[in-house]
Homo-oligomer: A and B are copies of this chain.
Amino acid sequence: MQNDYTQMWTDLGLDLQAHDQLLEVLGQGYEQVFMSQANRPEGMAYFDFVMSEVHGLRIKELMDAKAEGRKVVGSFCVFVPEEIVLAVDGILVGLCTGADFATEEVDKILPRNTCALIKSAFGFKLGKVCPYLESADLIVGENTCDGKKKSYETLAGLVPALYVMDLPQTKSLRARELMQAEMKRFFHKMEEISGVTIDAARLKKGIQLVTEKRKALHRLNELRKNDPAPISGLDALLINQVQFYDDPVRFTASLNKLCDELETRVAEGKGAFAKGTPRVMVSGCPMAVPNWKLPMIIESTGAVIVGEESCVGERGTRNLVSDGEESLDELMEALVDRYFKIDCAIFTPNPERLDHVKEMTGRYNAQGVIHYSLQFCQPYQTESIPLEKSLENEKIKTLRLETDYSQEDIEQLRTRVEAFVEMIA
């Protein structure tokens, strides 16, 4: 961290001691997991810097934006449309999760059998260590899984302003109507909290910014098809994680610059790992900062991760809002179309996700799929069993893993991943 942010963190009501400890652990973990990698592209320096300032400079930027009257919106889910937030000059940030915190306090208000992601989000709140959550003018929840849906009722009592998006459970015509109505409601909510009236030009601008970001991520994905892969799966995951926190314009420019470098690497036959390294795809639950456990295990066993079928990965970013719409109504319809395509396991049935996993496996030339479920995540866990069956039927080797944010099962996971990588190599 370059500067002293103590005053800012104090003003935000953080528990300074606990927060210092968190940053220390986070910094050490980052050093071990990321900085120890060989053959890193130079362009990763930008993302290293963002991470080093993730609770510092970036929060300072949010506070400066707030001082100018701009609104900060926090969310936990890729169903929350950043386009609409940008249309009112707002800033959308992902909220902290990905590590266990204040677990004793959390266990008093959430069932033991709640997934680690939800418990973690509550832990960051109860432990007063998430400057994103504390600086947000509005927190947007969403009725996705039972765990999140029901725990937002409790979160509502812990934060000043919680807004919950309702979401459908199927892909029926009526379900799309609900999505459409909820997009409109969110649109008006953003207008209300910002005092800005969204016209077509504003929304179009928001869509363009997000589309540019997604296109840069698609470009990154495209480059990972190569053998040797020009970038590690850990670094690619980090980029996918950083996009939830960083300024979208700066992020897009930095990622495109990195992609230029990766193109040169590809042309020169250089990679993060040697040519012929076993190629693995990861599919399943999202991995939030600093949940790098499984990718670290996979890549330390001598495989490279070439794609993530995840909300922090292609599920969250793969579809673009259709181009060429002009009126506000058309733009909103295009937005609804795009978000309604997300193949989250909360939908029933959800065959698009299976198709996507298969398609990705082919596209990235992956030799196997590792399915990652957070313990107690019923939608992804339940879907993983027929998914594995279907992949295995098509001779795609699949390993189903279930874990949480603890470090206790690392050796057990490593043993299983090693055996899997040996089998597919």
Contacts and interface: CB of A to CB of B under 8 A. Distances in A.
Given A169-B166, A178-B174, A386-B154, A113 B147 contact: no
A170 B178 CA distance: 12
A147 B385 CA distance: 13
Nearest to A386: B154
A225 to B, nearest CB: 31
A382 interface: yes
A151 interface: yes
A379 interface: yes
A174 B181 contact: yes
A1 to B, nearest CB: 37
A153 B346 CA distance: 12
Interface string A25-56: 00000000000000000000000000000000
B114 A382 contact: yes
Contact of A143 (B113, B170, B174): B170
Copies of this chain, complex-wide, total 2
Interface in A332-378: 345-346, 348-350, 373, 375-376, 378
Interface string A88-122: 00000000000000000000111101100000000
A110 B153 contact: no
Instruction: Please name the 5 residue pairs, one residue from A and one from B, whose CB atoms are nearest each other, closest first.
Output: A150-B382, A111-B381, A146-B378, A146-B146, A143-B169
B348 A386 contact: no
Contact of A375 (B113, B149, B373, B375): B113
A190 to B, nearest CB: 19
Contacts of A385: 108-111, 154
A329 to B, nearest CB: 19
B113 A150 contact: no
Contacts of A149: 169, 348
A383 interface: yes
B152 A348 contact: yes
18 contacts: A111-B373, A111-B385, A113-B113, A113-B376, A113-B381, A145-B146, A147-B382, A150-B378, A150-B379, A153-B386, A154-B385, A154-B386, A166-B169, A166-B170, A166-B175, A167-B169, A174-B177, A178-B178
Given A145-B378, A150-B378, A153-B386, 19 more contacts: A109-B385, A110-B385, A113-B375, A113-B376, A114-B378, A143-B348, A145-B146, A146-B147, A146-B379, A149-B348, A150-B382, A151-B382, A153-B349, A154-B382, A154-B385, A166-B170, A166-B172, A166-B175, A174-B177
A176 B160 CA distance: 29
Interface of A: 108-111, 113-114, 143, 145-147, 149-154, 164, 166-167, 169-170, 172, 174-175, 177-178, 181, 345-346, 348-350, 373, 375-376, 378-379, 381-386, 402
Given A169-B149, A386-B153, A378 B346 contact: no
Nearest to A351: B153
B166 A378 contact: no
Contacts of A172: 166
B181 A382 contact: no
A401 to B, nearest CB: 12
Nearest to A150: B382
Contacts of A147: 146, 378, 382
Contacts of A170: 143, 166
Nearest to A348: B149
Contacts of A153: 348-350, 382-383, 386
A420 B167 CA distance: 40
A231 to B, nearest CB: 33
A150 B348 contact: yes
Contacts of A175: 166
B113 A383 contact: no
Contact of A348 (B114, B164, B181): B164
A179 to B, nearest CB: 11
